[in-house]
Structure 1
C-alpha cells in the first residue's frame, strides 16, 4: 500500500477492519481505529464513517496514549 495522507476519505481505505472500544455506547458517538497495511493507525468518527480519517504512526499513537494515561491532557480550572 502506498502512503496514505491525513484527511483522506475513510471510504478510500477499503479492506480495513474498523473497530471501536468495547466500552463504547450504542448511540454511535465513538472513535474507530483501523490498522493499515503500512502499520499506521487510521482514526475516524463513527457517526461519519465516510468522512476524513486521520493517520498516525504507531509511535505517535503510543505517545498520545501514554499522555492520556498520565493525565497530560486533563482539563484543569485555573
Structure 2
C-alpha cells in the first residue's frame, strides 16, 4: 500500500495507513494494550490505540512529537498518572 501524504489527516481511520510499520514499544505488562506509532514517509508520526486499530489516527509533526517526548521526559505529564 502506498501512502499519499496529501491525503493524511488527523482523525482519519488508522486502517487507511496500512497495517505494516506500526510499533508498540511501550507495551510491557499491559496485556496487549498500548499506544502504537508509525513513522510516515514525510516524517510525521501517526498514533493509534492498539485495542482499536481501525479507530482514528492522530497525526503529529516531528516538532510536535519532539515537544511531547521532551515534556514527558521532564516530568510535565506526571500528574496524568498520579494516584
Query: So what's the TM-score if we normalise by structure 1?
Result: 0.85
Counterparts of 2:19 and 2:26 in 1: how far apart (Å)?
Answer: 21
Q: Which runs of 5+ in 2 are unaligned?
A: none
Structure 2 residue 21 is matched with structure 1 residue 24: no
- Which structure is higher in strand share? 1
- Asked whether the 8 Å contact 2:27–2:34 carries over to 1, the reply is no
CA RMSD across the alignment:
2.1
Give the total of aligned pairs. Answer: 77
Residue 53 of structure 2 corresponds to 49
Q: Which runs of 5+ in 1 are unaligned?
A: none
Query: So what's the TM-score if we normalise by structure 2?
Result: 0.80
4+ aligned runs moved over 6 Å, structure 1: none
In structure 2, relative to structure 1, the CA distance for the partners of 1:26 and 1:58 (3 Å cut) is same
